[in-house]
Chains A and B, each alone.
Chain A
């Protein structure tokens, strides 16, 4: 169970981003692949706890679970894996380890509420 430390990293990064952009955060959007080794449910639970006492307290974690996409050399195309227990092309059955998506553990976006425009926003 390393989701608590992952949640803390997410919050640290989001707090930094919020301070840099001078905004408040209502929600953090996360892309999560099944091969990231992180369990969505445990992460949601950890996020709530880890947010307490930070400027993100009360914010939501919106997780978009990404599917595993592989490259099939036989079909010469990108395919969506049907099962993590079977790394084969769903159409032709050719085995493949060429993973294109599925390892994501990425903050994709921040949902911001009020923007504090009292001070100039630093260039990004």
Chain B
């Protein structure tokens, strides 16, 4: 017996469990040729409206579905179901974010191979979702024109974990004297090289450009798959 305290080297990633599930999901999506996009934003940034518009338009040419995380209600799933795309609600209860295992569970019974795009709407929160890999191929961070141009500077971690920024509610830009150049500069400050789209789910402005981007990415992700469908 030794009474001397001593250090044991360990080196264990605390989120290893989540990362293992996320990696398996990503591999599954890759082998099935499904391109997976997750959406994160603060509550009220317009994720659901933007996603509803995306699903409605993309459904015309692609097989799309969505998973939507919410603390308590199924309201978002009901709204998204209006697009006629398959939608499943993940009720997180008190949990402020989605984890990979929840995605895995929610996909139970779904034939992923039948999908070109799967969208995952995270719980409205700009802090916690940044830590959790969901196995997605692309993470979008949304911010609306009403939130203030300095949002990227206030939440650099989530902007850093995302691949693309989407500025929503552009139809209100003039009314709130939104300064797009300033937001662009702030996005570039926390995530140099990050691409952004400025959209309005209400008018459809900017959505085509965004959808073109997604379909280009699908073609890279699953070349055979898309060639067969063309």
Contacts and interface: CB of A to CB of B under 8 A. Distances in A.
B48 to A, nearest CB: 22
A99 B161 CA distance: 11
A2 B10 contact: no
A109 B131 contact: no
Contact of A2 (B2, B131, B188): B131
Given A2-B97, A38-B131, A109-B9, 16 more contacts: A5-B95, A6-B15, A6-B131, A9-B14, A35-B161, A86-B189, A86-B190, A87-B190, A95-B192, A105-B14, A105-B15, A105-B131, A106-B14, A108-B10, A110-B8, A111-B7
Nearest to B153: A85
A83 B53 CA distance: 37
A18 to B, nearest CB: 9
B10 A17 contact: yes
Interface in A85-116: 85-88, 95-97, 99, 105-116
A1 B97 CA distance: 9
A29 B14 CA distance: 12
B131 A84 contact: no
A85 B14 contact: no
B160 interface: yes
Contacts of A5: 95
B158 interface: yes
Contacts of A9: 14-15, 17
Interface in A51-95: 84-88, 95
B205 to A, nearest CB: 28
A49 interface: no
Nearest to B3: A114
Nearest to A97: B192
B11 A108 contact: yes
Given A9-B17, A88-B192, A23 B12 contact: no
Given A9-B17, A85-B153, A109-B8, A37 B3 contact: no
Interface residues of A, number: 40
Contacts of A23: 8
Nearest to B189: A86
B153 A107 contact: no
A110 B7 contact: yes
Contact of A113 (B3, B10, B131, B153): B3
A91 to B, nearest CB: 16
B12, B157, B191: which has the most chain A beta carbons within 10 Å?
Answer: B12
A26 interface: yes
B7 to A, nearest CB: 5
B60 interface: no
B157 A97 contact: no
Contacts of A99: 160
B13 interface: yes
B86 interface: no
Contacts of B96: 1-2
Contacts of B194: 97
B127 interface: yes
